[in-house]
Amino acid sequence: MKFLSRSEELVLMMISKVEGDVYGVLLKEHLEKVTGKYWSIGSVYVPLDRLESKGFVKSYTGEASSKRGGRSKRLYEITDEGRQQLTEAQSLYEKMASYQPLV
Amino acid sequence: MKFLSRSEELVLMMISKVEGDVYGVLLKEHLEKVTGKYWSIGSVYVPLDRLESKGFVKSYTGEASSKRGGRSKRLYEITDEGRQQLTEAQSLYEKMASYQPLV
DNA sequence: CATAAGTTCTATAAAATAGAAGATATAAGG
DNA sequence: CCTTATATCTTCTATTTTATAGAACTTATG
pLDDT in tens, B5-32: 999 999 999 999 999 999 999 999 999 9
Number of CB pairs, chain A paired with chain B, less than 8 A apart:
55
Distance from CA of A100 to the nearest CA of B (A): 7
Distance CA B4, CA B6 (A): 7
Per-residue confidence at B62, pLDDT binned at 50, 70, 90?
Answer: confident
Q: Å from A38 (CA) to C13 (C1')?
A: 27
Query: If phi over 0 gives left and psi between -120 and 50 gives alpha, with beta otherwise, what is residue B20?
Result: left
Rounded-to-integer distance, Cα B10 and Cα B30, Å: 11
Please state, for a pLDDT cut of 90, what percent of chain B lies above it: 86
Residues of chain A with pLDDT under 70: 64-66, 103
| Cβ <8 Å between B30 and A101 | yes
Distance CA B67, CA A18 (A): 55
Q: Which of B2, B5, B103 is nearest residue A37 as measured by Cβ atoms?
A: B2
CB contact under 8 A, A101 and B18: yes
Long-range contacts of A26-29 (CB under 8 A, 24+ apart): A26/B103, A27/A76
pLDDT at B67 over 90: no
Average pLDDT, chain A: 94
Q: Which of B10, B13, B101 sits opposite A17 (nearest CB)?
A: B101
